[in-house]
Structure 1
C-alpha cells in the first residue's frame, strides 16, 4: 500500500475561485484592455498585486520557478503587457510524483496604464520569482480632483 502524500485546502480553493469570479464583475482602473478573462482548467496566470504610493504604481507579479529570460515586459500605446512561459521540469525516473498542482505554460497579462503614468520611464526588476514593474507618476499630468460649485 502506497500512502498518498497530498495536502488540500478546499477553503483556499473556493476562495481562489470566488476571487476569479468577482474579478469578472468589478470595475478595475487596471482593466485588461477590453479583453475578457476566460476561465479554463488549463489556464495559468500569475498572481498580480498593484500598489500605489505618492511616487509610483508598483505591479508585482508572482512568477515562481521562472527565469528572467522567460519573462517579457512591454509598454505600448498606454498598455503594460507582461508575458512569458513557465516550463515544467523534467520528471526524474527515480522519483514518483504523488501530486502536481503547479501549472505550466504561456501567459499574457495586460493592464491599461492609469492617467499620470510616465510610460517611457517604466522599469522592472526580477528577483526570487517576483517581477516588480515600477510605473512612475508625473505630477503634472496626474488626474486632479476639482470641486465644482453647483449654482
Structure 2
C-alpha cells in the first residue's frame, strides 16, 4: 500500500502521521472497497486498514497448481483539531482510495493598524 503524501513527520518515530494536507490517497491495487476499512478513532485518528486473500489455480491434464497469498495492512493519521470528523468522505476507484477530511474555517485575528507619528 502506498500513500500520498509520503511525509512522515520531522524525525518522530510513530505509527501516527500528522499530515499537512487533508486529502489522502492510497494505492491499493487488486483490492475491492469491501476489503478496506476507513475509521475515525478516539483522539482524531484516521485509520485505514484492510486484508487481502487471493487464490490462483492453474491446471491441465498433467498438473495442478494452486497459489495463495494473503496479508493485512494498517495505517493511522492524526487529524488536526479543526478537522470535521463527522464529514469525512472516502471513495475508491480503480484501486485508488481517496479520503477527504474537510476543515473548519479558522477565524483570522482582527488586525488593527496603528498610525505612526513623529
TM-score where L is the length of structure 1: 0.51
Structure 1's consecutive aligned runs of 4 or more residues displaced over 6 angstroms after TM superposition are none
Counterpart CA distance in 1 for 2:95 and 2:11 is 28
Aligned length: 96
2:16 maps to which residue?
33
Asked if 2 retains the 8 angstrom alpha-carbon contact of 1:83 and 1:108, the reply is: yes
Gapped runs of 5+ residues in structure 2?
1-6, 61-68, 110-118
1:85 maps to which residue?
51
Q: What's the Cα RMSD here?
A: 3.5
TM-score where L is the length of structure 2: 0.64
Question: Which is greater in Rg?
Answer: 2
Evaluate the alpha carbon distance shift between residue 125 and residue 51 of structure 1 in structure 2; reply closer, same or farther with a 3 A threshold: farther
SS at match of 2:38: strand
Counterpart CA distance in 2 for 1:64 and 1:138 is 33
1:63 pairs with 2:45:
no
SS at match of 1:82: strand
Gapped runs of 5+ residues in structure 1?
1-21, 35-49, 95-102, 146-151
More strand by share: 2
